[in-house]
């Protein structure tokens, strides 16, 4: 029997793309999309969709039973910038959604869980270049603290209850199907939209702010690969570093100019600059490569080409 998969947060930046890929693998009717907001037409029309506030544990359990769900991908969260503006809700949503889902697996209702962590688990005292898998972690944002807490719980549930939870520390994610969702790395998505529509963009980070990023097709593939890997290959149960590609707003703007020569960028840093300054500039993901065979595909050049092509074709 094929697994039935529940994606919580199917209207967000990752969920919008992940549901489509999972439906190709598991079959449309075996991937249940859910979100507090309506998802894209493509998602609602191609398979089941349930309205769900993941903080409502009773409703979550009803959906699990109704569809006999065996795997959950939990993507609902308040990202770094939004969580700073709404501290209590950010903390509650990020922590309680996770504990509600972890209890599903502890109680034997589902077999496997995916939960994303982030480069936000690192902080000012972390080595910034080639940040190792195991290093100093002193996050100083609501989002980063919630992700660090979540990682500890992942490992605890694995050790204590043998719960099969898998996790990746995503870099900033860049995709064309959905808008960015309130994070510090959003500029790298917004810049493409505005370059195409207005040939100009005002960036909320300084020109030389290096951050690790990843193109969505790589992020979706990494997510599905770690979930499909044999359990014994998933040796790290907190969360795996993922490197992606590191660049500055200036470098990205230069790349965009090769396709849109009149494109102009200006800089007006806001509160997100401080968040960016506390995060790594590049990541060492050799553990993911060694343990379950992770390999990056998209470079900055390849990603920019594909983003611009898709945004032009689909707008
Ligand atoms: N991209 C996220 C953010 O900026 C980090 O995980 O909040």
135-164: per-residue pLDDT in tens? Answer: 999 999 999 999 999 999 999 999 999 999
For 159-203, how does the pLDDT look when each residue is reduced to its tens digit (9 = 90+)?
999 999 999 999 999 999 998 989 999 999 999 999 999 999 999
Give the distance (Å) from ligand 1 centre to CA of residue 186.
8
CA–CA dist 83, 20 (Å, integer): 27
Q: Rounded to the nearest whole angstrom, what is the distance from the C-alpha of residue 66 to the centroid of ligand 1?
A: 33
Burial (0-12, 13-18, 19+ Cβ within 10 Å), 54: buried
Which uninterrupted H or E stretch holds 33? strand 31-35
Q: Ligand 1 mean position to 118 CA, how many Å?
A: 7
Of the residues 67, 73, 143, 267, only one is catalytic, namely: 143
pLDDT of the residue at 52: 98
Q: Which residues, in sequence order, are CB contacts of 299 under 8 Å at separation 6+?
A: 245
Domain span(s) for CATH 3.90.25.10 in the chain:
173-213+244-314
- Residue 245 banded pLDDT, cuts 50, 70, 90: very high
Mean pLDDT of 57-84: 98
pTM: 0.97
Atom of ligand 1 nearest to the CA of 147: 6
* Torsion of the alpha carbons at 129, 80, 76 and 26, rounded to the nearest 10: -30
Which residue's CA lies nearest to atom 6 of ligand 1?
Answer: 118
CA of 208 from ligand 1 middle (Å) equals 18
Whether the pLDDT of residue 2 is over 90: the answer is no
pLDDT at residue 159 in the model: 98
Question: Can you tell me which atom of ligand 1 is nearest the CA of 172?
Answer: 1
Is 143 in the active site? yes
Say how many Å lie between the CA of residue 171 and the centre of ligand 1: 7
HSE (side-chain half, CA atoms, 13 Å) at 279 = 31
What CATH number has the domain spanning 173-213+244-314? 3.90.25.10
Please report which confidence band the pLDDT of residue 1 belongs to, taking 50, 70 and 90 as the band edges.
Answer: low
Helix/strand/coil (H/E/C) assignment for every residue in 166-229: ECEEECEEECCCCCCCCCCCCHHHHHHHHHHHHCEEEECCCCCCCEEEEEHHHHHHHHHHHHHC
Residue 79 Cα: closest atom of ligand 1? 7
Mean pLDDT of the chain: 97
What residue ranges line ligand 1, CB within 6 angstroms? 79-80, 118, 120, 143, 170, 172, 183-185
- Pick the residue whose CA is nearest to atom 3 on ligand 1: 183
30: pLDDT strictly greater than 70:
yes
Q: Within 10 A of 86 (CB to CB), how many other CB atoms are there?
A: 14
Domain covering 5-168, topology: Rossmann fold (3.40.50)
Q: Above pLDDT 70, what percent of the chain?
A: 100
Q: What is the rounded CA–CA span in Å between residue 177 and residue 100?
A: 29
Rounded to the nearest angstrom, the gap between the alpha carbon of residue 314 and the centroid of all alpha carbons in its chain is 23
Nearest CA to ligand 1 atom 1: 172
In whole angstroms, give the CA distance from residue 141 to residue 120: 8
pLDDT of residue 315 exceeding 80: no
Helix (H, G, I), strand (E, B) or coil at 30: helix
CA distances in angstroms from 220 to 31, 109, 247, listed in the order given: 15, 25, 21
Q: Give CATH 3.40.50.720 domain extents, the chain.
A: 5-168
pLDDT in tens, 94-112: 999 999 999 999 999 999 9
197 Cβ neighbours under 8 A, 6+ residues apart: none
The atom number, within ligand 1, closest to the CA of 184 reads 4
The residues, any chain, with a CB within 8 Å of residue 74's CB and separated by 6 or more, are 8, 9, 54, 97, 98, 101, 113, 114, 115, 116
């Amino acid at each position: 029997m094929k697994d039935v998969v529940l994606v919580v947060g199917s209207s967000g930046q990752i969920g919008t793309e992940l549901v489509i890929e999972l439906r190709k693998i598991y079959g449309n009717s075996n991937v249940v999309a859910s979100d507090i907001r309506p998802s894209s037409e493509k998602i609602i029309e191609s398979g089941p969709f349930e309205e769900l506030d993941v903080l409502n544990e009773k409703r979550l359990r009803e959906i699990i039973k109704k569809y006999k769900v065996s795997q959950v991908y939990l993507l609902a969260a308040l990202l770094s910038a939004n969580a700073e503006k709404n501290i209590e809700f950010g903390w509650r949503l990020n922590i309680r959604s996770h504990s509600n889902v972890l209890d599903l697996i502890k109680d034997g209702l589902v077999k496997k869980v995916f939960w994303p962590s982030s480069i936000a688990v690192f902080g000012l005292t972390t080595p910034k270049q080639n940040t190792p898998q195991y290093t100093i972690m002193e996050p100083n944002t609501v989002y980063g603290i919630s992700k660090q807490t979540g990682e500890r719980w992942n490992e605890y549930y694995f050790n204590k209850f043998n719960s099969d939870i898998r996790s990746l520390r995503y870099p900033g994610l860049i995709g064309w199907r959905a808008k960015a969702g309130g994070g510090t790395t959003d500029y790298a998505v917004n810049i493409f939209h505005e370059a195409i529509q207005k040939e100009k963009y005002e960036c909320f980070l300084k020109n030389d702010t290096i951050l690790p990023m990843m193109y969505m097709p790589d992020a979706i593939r990494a997510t599905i690969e770690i979930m499909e890997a044999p359990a014994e290959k998933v040796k790290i149960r907190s969360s795996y570093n993922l490197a992606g590609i590191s660049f500055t707003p200036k470098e990205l703007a230069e790349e965009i100019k090769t396709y849109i020569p009149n494109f102009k960028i200006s800089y007006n840093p806001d509160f997100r600059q401080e968040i960016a300054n506390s995060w790594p500039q590049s990541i060492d993901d050799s553990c993911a490569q060694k343990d379950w065979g992770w390999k990056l595909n998209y470079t900055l050049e390849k990603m920019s080409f594909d983003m611009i092509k898709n945004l032009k074709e689909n707008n």
